[in-house]
């Protein structure tokens, strides 16, 4: 910008100042005699003026100032009207000279003095000069003030006029006469008075003959003042004030380049004011001018385009970027223009060529078109025979010089255009531009950035995944240091992310670790991002422990990074997913305190509620949900909070059901996701079911189906509708509805509603008569035959197996048939688990449980997976992990009949770890649950016997063993009883009761439930062959034993 | 040969040459015009033959993209157009047409968002022109197609 102003003032600098000043304020009557430098003190005041003026004419400006300043000093005490006026003119003259000499401060001081005194004959000139000086001195605030005064009220205001002092010319001293005679001065005064009478001169201000009324500003001056005002405003970023003066220049400037520059600057102000509609309007105007060939305009275009790009004003930014011309095109234009001027003034045409000089700076050579002429013309030029170059031509030549020395900008423009197309959503144009940048500068920073950004577009927008992977891996194999490899890895991760291929993201970790370390800020930031994405990948893969470590790594290695807040949040959330509720709660609480304005706060509060709920601190959980509900009604978690609080209300008892219903209804009303809606709907349905409000179940489920249409969880809805029909006794209708839903939605592995229907249909089948059951089986078999989808086929097979009690057989078949467990729905996975368990095959245990946890978290079929994995871990003696799993199982399934294994396994671990008191308690707890009666009781009794035996409490041990073989001999083919016999015999022996011990063995061999089992061999061995033969004979004869072993010590029963 | 004879000979020769030229009122179509007319008529071979005669690099790319599009090679067409748009943004003869064709080809490719963005830019960059009007119509069509597609998905 400064260059531009200089350019406008440069013209005047080439004109001798004296020419400009000559007409300003010296009366023609003041003859300027040739006076040579003398001692100033020897000169009269008049001679000082004369000498100064003479020096001015000779362009000896510095010397002239000395004389004029001396005049002011000399006349300081003289205060007549004429001298006051003279002093003012001298001040203005000095200011003009100093400004010309680039002593802006000196000029300003003189002008400030000038504008504070009367008479102020040339206020417009003074304020114009002040505006220019302030601008040059970079005092933009004062420049604005001066320009505003100049444009609005240049005439003096508020200055006190001094008392008029008329002169008696006859009494004047030599100095006061100023080189004129008294008569001459008198005559000039009379002329002035006459002119004033005729209204030609304002007497109040002009006492001297030369103080003619100052004309208004010319249009050129107004343009200059407006331009300076606008530019100063721009410097001070006062965009609003800059708009009006820029618009003035745009409207009135005649020169295309000035108009264009002002338009560009106006666009810049409007961008900063975010008045984008006007921006567009002025850009279109700019397109129509030749100003676009001005290098300064082009530079300004780049700046403005970049701002527009940042503001996502893609259309306007594109317009600007497209207007930026390559250097060659601009030079060609300037050459044409130069030759037009040259032809006008009779100069030969030139061709612009650019060469580098020794210092590497570009030299512009204006070679003549006919090279043969060159020497001749140069000689003519040197001899002064050619016409003088006009100023316009000189300026053009200078601007071409500037252009030649400008740093290359074309690649940057191309790069920006590529970015613009990428952001705006024109992907093919984006990759074309970015790839062109890469081709021009493959190893430079811009080229590498362009390469990575191009890959990003290929991956995320054009889905050319293979291309991205191939190019990126090839590049990464060769590049390990700097920003490029990090950016490329980031682009590759984005591509994998678009494909949901998180395993591939994790596969990049070794590459990331192999990068050469760097302290560069941008490199560090990218690296932090890459490690953060690694942790995110772990999170997506449900590897919560790894994710937690990853987020911690980011926090520890990249202190206060851009991902700090995100990492803290996800670190806490990973803890929650790992069910480490206490720790997660602490972290979430700290997060909310440290980042009270974070976007995560509602989610943090909600998940704090989840932790508190899991920790059974229900009141506090309710408070957290309430906090979310009251403060963040627009947030994503609001609906969840409503549902969770409603769950809490529903669990409080009947008097809270109304409030719970209100909560679910609010959750449904405000749901932002399908899941939020369906959760609230089906929870509410479950609540209605408890109160047998079947009509309301139908109502709420039908409303849900209508609302969600295609997106509805139709299978689950069908489950609830069927369930209601069953409750109303409409069994055939319910069965038909269920079968229809299974066939229709069973092909989607994620439709857990179908799995609920399968369970329900199995239950219903027990209530069907033979005919109904046959009909159902027939229709199911038909559906199996017609099923084209494997998931549906497997589901139907499982349903049939469950109805016919053939699950184990089917499970064994599926164990070998189902190779891709990921496509298997929960019932199939469960049946595979059961079959694996039966075969002690734990190879799939971990994978299946993980599948459940990641894909079917709410499925009831997950219990089989827990059991299999529990036995897997136990068999590996991973007791800590086993206990964790047992805890999870018991939290989920409590005292359900099929969860007893967890309680017994806990006892087994305690027993193995010699924690006998704990084991005793654990086994005994089994006997307190009525739902676990049967085989679990047998096992618990036997293991209590073992525990007492290990504790040396043989009497008690015998008692538990005896209870087992007496009460539970039918379970597990008599195995518990057989083992118990042996345990009993051992205990009696340990008590020294050998006879009783032998009697126990005898009783065992008489016991038909156990006497053929392998354990009987122990008894046979202890008794000896003879006695065994005797017993066998006894049994064969049909006799029964009456052997009873009893002890005094009874085992206390709870 | 004297001076006047030389002048006469020159005049005569120029007359012969002049007579050999077509009438001024019937200018020869340019290779671009020939190519575009041929594409419209479905004569892609003829259009392709014109390519080497087209001087303007931007014009050549435009015709090439038009041929590719007419052949149903939309992916090729959008790449060719991108070359034009990126490398000749100041070519006033072709840039607007290329921008508009980009919008159309994106539409052909089913890239509705890119098509809409591009058509919108045509409206913004060339206000008041015929192309801007066509872009407006194209955007309405895109919107309609997107709505239809969404409805179709719902019904499925």
Beta strands in A283-357, from DSSP E residues, in sequence order: 350-356
Residue in this structure with the two tokens 């062109």, named with its chain if needed: A436
Q: Searching chain B, which residue's CA lies closest to the CA of residue A326?
A: B90
Report which secondary-structure segment, H or E, holds A366.
strand A362-368
Are A165 and A81 contacting, i.e. CB atoms less than 8 angstroms apart? yes
- Kindly state the percentage of chain A with pLDDT values over 70: 86
CB contact under 8 A, B85 and A429: yes
Interface-testing mutation among A426, A427, A709, with chain B (most B C-beta atoms within 10 A): A426
pLDDT of residue A375: 59
The percent of residues above 90 in pLDDT, for chain A, comes to: 46
- Measured between alpha carbons, how far is A77 from A80 in angstroms, rounded to an integer? 9
Average pLDDT over residues A451-455: 96
pLDDT of residue A169: 60
Contact between B121 and A321 using a beta-carbon 8 Å cutoff: no
Predicted confidence band at A970 (pLDDT cuts at 50, 70, 90)?
Answer: confident
Task: Locate the chain A residue with the closest alpha carbon to B151.
Answer: A710
CB A736 within 8 A of CB A785: no
Pick among A278, A415, A423, A428 to test the B interface (most B CBs inside 10 A): A428
- B69, B96 in Cβ contact below 8 A? no
**Residue B154 pLDDT:** 53
Alpha-carbon span A278 to A263, nearest angstrom: 11
Are A425 and B83 a contacting pair at CB < 8 A? no
Q: Calculate mean pLDDT across residues A847-876.
A: 90
Cβ-based contacts of B83 with chain A (< 8 Å): 432
Residue A373 confidence (pLDDT) above 60: no
> Which tokens in the block code for residue A972?
């597990």
Contacts of A635 (CB under 8 A, 6+ apart): A602, A603, A628
Mean pLDDT of A323-328: 84
Using pLDDT thresholds of 50, 70 and 90, give the confidence band for residue A319: confident
Residue A202 has a pLDDT of 35
Alpha helices (runs of H) in A406-515, residue ranges in sequence order: 410-424, 427-440, 445-460, 465-478, 483-498, 502-507, 509-513
If you average pLDDT over each of A94-103, A196-205, B97-106, which comes out highest?
A: B97-106
Tokens 């430098």 belong to residue: A37
pLDDT computed for residue A1044 by the predictor: 57
A636 exposure class (CB count in 10 Å sphere: 0-12, 13-18, 19+): middle
Average confidence (pLDDT) over A220-243: 94
Helices (H), A894-1037: 900-912, 916-927, 935-951, 954-967, 975-990, 994-1006, 1016-1023, 1025-1036
Provide the β-strand partners of residue A353: A365
Give B-chain residues touching A709 at CB under 8 angstroms.
Answer: 154
Q: How far apart are CA B101 and CA A1003, in angstroms?
A: 98
| Structure confidence at residue A2 as a pLDDT band (50, 70, 90) | very low
pLDDT of residue A729: 84
How many C-beta neighbours within 10 Å does residue A172 have?
Answer: 19
Distance to chain A for B132, nearest Cα, Å? 13
Say which DSSP state A157 is in.
Answer: -
Spatial contact of A476 and B127, defined as CB atoms under 8 Å apart: no
Digit-coded pLDDT (tens) for A556-607: 999 999 999 999 999 999 999 888 899 999 999 999 999 999 999 999 999 9
Q: Which of A329-333, A565-569, B71-75 has the lowest mean pLDDT?
A: A329-333
- Classify A73 as helix, strand or coil: helix
In whole angstroms, give the CA distance from residue A633 to residue A954: 66
pLDDT at A194: 56
Place of tokens 């906090």: A627
User: In sequence order, which residues have a C-beta less than 8 Å from that of residue A92 and are 6 or more positions away?
Assistant: A24, A25, A110, A111, A114, A122, A125, A126, A129
Q: How confident is the model at residue A396 (pLDDT cuts 50, 70, 90)?
A: confident
Asked if residues A626 and A644 have their Cβ atoms less than 8 Å apart, the reply is no
First to last CA, chain B: 92
**What pLDDT is recorded for position A174?**
61
* Whole-number average pLDDT of chain A: 84
Q: What average pLDDT does this structure show over B112-132?
A: 94
Asked if the model's pLDDT at residue A513 lies above 90, the reply is yes
Reduce the secondary structure of A946-987 to three states and give it as a string.
HHHHHHCCHHHHHHHHHHHHHHCCCHHHHHHHHHHHHHHHHH
Band of the pLDDT at A76, cuts 50, 70, 90?
Answer: confident
Task: Give the pLDDT of residue A1048.
Answer: 46
**Between the ranges A77-81, A84-88, A572-576, A753-757, where is the mean pLDDT highest?**
A572-576
Give the pLDDT score at A945. 96
- Per-residue confidence (pLDDT) for residue B105, from 0 to 100: 97
Write out pLDDT tens, residues A33-71. 344 445 677 777 777 888 888 888 887 888 888 888 888
Confirm or reject contact between B25 and chain A (CB < 8 A): no
- The CA angle A864-A865-A871, to the nearest 5 degrees, is 95
Cβ of B89 under 8 Å from any chain A Cβ? yes
CA angle A178, A180, A181 (to 5 degrees): 125
A656: its two tokens: 């809270």
3-state secondary structure of A363: strand
Question: Span A87-106, mean pLDDT?
Answer: 88
In contact, A794 and A765? CB cutoff 8 Å:
no
DSSP β-bridge partners for residue A354: A364
Euclidean distance between CA atoms B108 and B119, whole angstroms: 13
Q: Determine the angle formed by the axes of helices A256-272 and A239-252, rounding to 10 degrees.
A: 160
pLDDT, chain B, mean: 84
Contact A65, A21 (CB under 8 A): no
Q: What secondary structure letter does DSSP report for A560?
A: T
Contact B121 A318 (CB under 8 A): yes
Q: Are A578 and A552 in contact (CB under 8 A)?
A: no
Q: Which residues contact A729 (CB under 8 A, 6 or more apart)?
A: none
Q: Token pair of A791, please?
A: 């998931």
Q: Are A856 and A844 in contact (CB under 8 A)?
A: no
**CB-based contact (8 Å) between B34 and chain A?**
no
pLDDT value for A558: 94
Task: Say whether A368 sits in a helix, a strand or coil.
Answer: strand
Asked if A426 lies within 8 A of B78 by C-beta distance, the reply is no
Structure-model confidence comparison of residues A289 and A1044, the more confident one: A289
- Range with the poorest average pLDDT among A327-336, A377-386, A710-719, A863-872: A377-386
B91/chain A closest Cα distance in angstroms: 10
* First CA to last CA distance, chain A: 96
pLDDT at A329 over 50: yes
Cα B23 from Cα A278, distance rounded (Å): 50
The pLDDT assigned to A521 comes to: 93
- Tens of pLDDT, residue by residue over A997-1052, are 999 999 999 888 898 999 999 999 999 999 899 888 888 887 666 555 555 444 44
The neighbour count for residue A866, using CB atoms within 10 Å, is 26
Mean pLDDT score, A241-264: 88
pLDDT digits (tens, 9 = 90+) for A704-721: 988 887 788 888 888 898
pLDDT band at A391 (very low <50, low <70, confident <90, very high): confident
Residues of chain A contacting residue B102, judged by C-beta atoms under 8 Å apart: 426, 428-429
Q: What is the pTM of this model?
A: 0.64
**Lowest-pLDDT range, A255-264, A429-438, A582-591, A726-735?**
A255-264
**Distance of alpha carbon A143 from alpha carbon A133, whole angstroms:** 8
What average pLDDT does the segment A219-234 reach?
93
Rounded Cα gap, residues A104 and A88, in angstroms = 18
Q: Least CB-CB distance to B154: which of A316, A436, A710?
A: A710
More confident position, A552 or A254? A552
Residues composing chain B: 156
Range with lowest mean pLDDT among A639-648, A744-753, B9-18: B9-18
DSSP output for A860-881: TTHHHHHHHHHHHHHHTT-HHH
Which among A237, A287, A229, A233 has a CA at the least distance from the CA of A259? A287
Query: Running DSSP on this structure, what letter comes out for residue A346?
Result: T
**pLDDT of amino acid A144:** 95
Cα Rg of chain A, angstroms: 50
Which residue shows structure tokens 């229907």? A757
Say yes or no: B44 contacts chain A, CB-CB below 8 A.
Answer: no
Interface probe, candidates B58, B85, B106, chain A, greatest A C-beta count within 10 A: B85
**Distances in Å between the alpha carbon of A737 and those of A448, A561, A683, A730, A828?**
61, 56, 21, 11, 22
Q: Which DSSP state fits B111?
A: -
Q: Choose, out of A324, A429, A430, A707, the residue to mutate when testing the contact with B (most B CBs < 10 Å).
A: A429
Helix (H), strand (E) at residue A225: helix A219-235
pLDDT in tens, A632-669: 999 999 999 999 999 999 988 888 899 999 999 999 99
Instruction: For residue A1026, count CB atoms less than 10 angstroms from its CB and return exposed for 0-12, middle for 13-18, buried for 19 or more.
Output: exposed
> What would the DSSP string read from start to end of A653-717?
-GGGHHHHHHHHHHHHHH--SHHHHHHHHHHHHHHHHHTT-HHHHHHHHHHHHHHHGGGS-HHHH
pLDDT one-digit tens code per residue, A786-808 = 988 888 999 999 999 999 888 88
Res A13: pLDDT = 37
Both tokens assigned to A110: 């003189």
pLDDT value at A936 more than 90? yes
Does the pLDDT value for residue B11 go beyond 50? no
Asked if B83 reaches chain A (Cβ–Cβ under 8 Å), the answer is yes
Characterize A526-563 residue by residue with b for buried, 16 or more Cβ atoms within 10 angstroms of its Cβ, and e for exposed: bbbbbbbbbbbbbbbbbbbebbbebbebbbeebeebeb
Q: Report the chain A residue with the minimal C-alpha distance to residue B78.
A: A428
Please check the confidence at residue A172 and state whether its pLDDT lies above 70.
no
- On whether the CB atoms of residues A724 and A698 are closer than 8 A, the answer is yes
């Amino acid at each position: 910008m400064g260059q531009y102003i200089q350019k406008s003032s440069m013209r005047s600098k080439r004109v001798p100042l004296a020419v400009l000043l000559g007409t300003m304020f010296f009366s023609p009557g003041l003859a300027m005699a040739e006076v040579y430098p003398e001692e100033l003190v020897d000169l009269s005041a008049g001679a000082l003026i004369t000498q100064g003026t003479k020096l001015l004419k000779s362009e000896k400006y510095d010397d002239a100032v000395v004389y004029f300043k001396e005049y002011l000093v000399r006349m300081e005490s003289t205060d007549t009207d004429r001298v006051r006026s003279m002093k003012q003119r001298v001040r203005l003259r000095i200011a003009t000279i100093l400004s010309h000499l680039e002593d802006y401060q000196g000029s300003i001081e003189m002008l400030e003095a000038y504008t504070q005194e009367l008479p102020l004959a040339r206020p417009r000139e003074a304020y114009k000069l002040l505006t220019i000086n302030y601008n040059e001195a970079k005092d933009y605030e004062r420049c604005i003030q001066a320009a505003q005064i100049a444009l609005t009220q240049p005439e003096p205001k508020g200055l006190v006029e001094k008392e008029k002092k008329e002169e008696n010319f006859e009494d004047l001293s030599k100095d006061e006469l100023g080189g004129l005679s008294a008569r001459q001065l008198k005559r000039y005064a009379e002329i002035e008075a006459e002119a004033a009478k005729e209204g030609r001169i304002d007497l109040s201000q002009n006492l001297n003959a030369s103080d003619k009324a100052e004309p208004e500003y010319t249009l050129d001056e107004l343009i200059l003042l407006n331009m300076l005002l606008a530019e100063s405003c721009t410097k001070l970023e006062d965009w609003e004030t800059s708009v009006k003066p820029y618009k003035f220049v745009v409207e009135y400037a005649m020169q295309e380049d000035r108009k264009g520059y002002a338009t560009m600057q106006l666009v810049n102000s409007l961008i900063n004011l975010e008045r984008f509609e006007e921006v567009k309007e002025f850009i279109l105007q700019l397109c129509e001018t030749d100003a676009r060939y001005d290098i300064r305009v082009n530079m300004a275009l780049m700046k403005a385009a970049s701002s527009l790009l940042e503001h996502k004003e893609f259309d306007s930014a594109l317009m600007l970027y497209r207007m930026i011309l390559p250097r060659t095109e601009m030079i060609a234009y300037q050459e044409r223009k130069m030759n037009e001027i040259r032809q006008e003034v009779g100069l030969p045409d030139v061709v612009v060529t650019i060469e580098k000089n020794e210092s590497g700076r570009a030299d512009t050579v204006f070679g003549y078109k006919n090279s043969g002429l060159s020497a001749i013309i140069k000689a003519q030029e040197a001899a002064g025979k050619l016409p003088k170059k006009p100023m316009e031509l000189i300026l053009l030549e200078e601007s071409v010089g500037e252009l030649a020395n400008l740093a290359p900008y074309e690649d940057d423009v191309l790069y920006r255009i590529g970015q613009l197309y990428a952001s705006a959503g024109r992907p093919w144009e984006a990759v074309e531009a970015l790839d062109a940048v890469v081709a021009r500068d493959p190893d430079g920073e811009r080229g590498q950035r362009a390469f990575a950004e191009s890959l990003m577009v290929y991956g995320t927008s054009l889905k050319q995944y293979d291309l991205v992977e191939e190019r990126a891996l090839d590049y990464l194999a060769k590049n390990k240091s700097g920003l490029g490899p990090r950016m490329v890895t980031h682009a590759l991760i984005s591509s994998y992310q678009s494909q949901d291929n998180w395993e591939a993201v994790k596969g990049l970790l070794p590459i990331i670790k192999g990068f050469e370390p760097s302290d560069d800020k941008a490199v560090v930031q990218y690296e932090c991002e890459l490690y953060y994405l690694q942790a995110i990948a772990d999170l997506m893969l449900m590897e919560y422990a790894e994710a937690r470590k990853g987020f911690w790594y980011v926090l520890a290695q990249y202190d206060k990074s851009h991902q700090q807040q995100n990492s803290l949040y996800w670190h806490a959330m990973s803890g929650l997913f790992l069910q480490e509720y206490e720790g997660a709660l602490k972290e979430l609480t700290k997060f909310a305190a440290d980042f009270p304005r974070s976007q995560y706060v509602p989610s943090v509060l909600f998940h704090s509620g989840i932790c508190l709920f899991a920790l059974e601190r229900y009141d506090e959980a309710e408070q957290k949900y309430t906090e979310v509900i009251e403060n963040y009604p627009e947030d994503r978690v609001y609906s969840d909070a409503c549902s969770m609080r409603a769950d809490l209300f529903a669990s409080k008892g009947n008097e809270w059901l109304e409030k719970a219903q209100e909560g679910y209804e609010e959750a449904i009303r405000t749901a932002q996701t399908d899941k939020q809606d369906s959760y609230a709907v089906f929870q509410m349905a479950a609540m209605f079911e408890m109160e047998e409000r079947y009509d309301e179940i139908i109502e709420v489920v039908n409303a849900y189906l209508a609302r969600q249409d295609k997106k509805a969880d139709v299978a689950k809805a069908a489950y609830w509708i069927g369930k209601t029909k069953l409750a109303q006794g409409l069994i055939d209708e319910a069965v038909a509805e269920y079968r229809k839903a299974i066939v229709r939605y069973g092909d989607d592995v994620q439709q857990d509603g179908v799995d609920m229907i399968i369970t329900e249909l199995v239950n219903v089948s027990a209530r069907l008569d033979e005919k109904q059951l046959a009909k159902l089986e027939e229709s199911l078999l038909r559906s199996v035959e017609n099923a084209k989808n494997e998931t549906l086929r497997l589901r139907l097979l499982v349903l049939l197996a469950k109805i016919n009690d053939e699950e184990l057989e089917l499970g064994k078949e599926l164990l070998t048939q189902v190779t891709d467990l990921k496509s298997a729905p929960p019932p199939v996975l469960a049946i595979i688990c059961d079959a694996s368990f039966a075969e002690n095959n734990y190879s799939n245990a971990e994978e299946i449980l993980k599948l459940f946890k990641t894909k079917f978290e709410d499925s009831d079929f997950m219990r089989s997976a827990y059991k299999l994995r529990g036995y897997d871990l136990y068999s590996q003696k991973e007791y800590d992990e086993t206990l964790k799993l047992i805890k999870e199982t018991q939290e989920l399934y409590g005292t359900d009949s099929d969860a007893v294994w967890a309680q017994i396994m806990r006892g087994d671990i305690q027993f193995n770890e010699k924690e006998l008191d704990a084991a005793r308690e654990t086994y005994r707890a089994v006997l307190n649950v009525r739902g676990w009666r049967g085989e679990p009781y047998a096992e618990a009794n036997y293991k209590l016997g073992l525990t007492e035996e290990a504790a040396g409490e043989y009497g008690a041990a015998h008692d538990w063993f005896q209870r087992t073989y007496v009460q539970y001999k039918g379970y597990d083919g008599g195995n518990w009883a057989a083992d118990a016999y042996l345990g009993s015999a051992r205990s009696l022996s340990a008590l020294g009761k050998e006879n009783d011990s032998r009697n126990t063995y005898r009783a065992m061999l008489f016991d038909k439930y156990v006497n053929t089992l392998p354990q009987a061999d122990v008894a046979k061995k202890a008794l000896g062959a003879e006695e065994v033969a005797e017993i066998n004979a006894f049994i064969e004869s049909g006799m029964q034993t009456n052997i009873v072993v009893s002890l005094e010590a009874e085992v206390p029963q709870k | 040969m004297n001076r006047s004879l030389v002048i006469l000979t020159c005049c005569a020769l120029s007359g012969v040459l002049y007579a050999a030229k077509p009438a001024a009122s019937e200018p020869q179509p340019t290779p671009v015009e020939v190519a575009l007319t041929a594409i419209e008529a479905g004569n892609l071979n003829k259009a392709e033959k014109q390519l080497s005669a087209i001087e303007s690099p931007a014009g050549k790319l435009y015709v090439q993209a038009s041929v590719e599009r007419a052949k149903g090679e939309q992916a090729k067409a959008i790449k060719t157009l991108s070359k034009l748009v990126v490398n000749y943004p100041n070519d006033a003869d072709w840039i607007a047409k290329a921008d508009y064709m980009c919008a159309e080809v994106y539409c052909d490719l089913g890239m509705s968002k890119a098509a809409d963005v591009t058509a919108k830019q045509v409206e913004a960059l060339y206000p008041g022109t015929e192309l801007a009007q066509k872009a407006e119509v194209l955007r309405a069509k895109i919107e309609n197609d997107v709505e239809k597609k969404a409805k179709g998905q719902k019904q499925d």
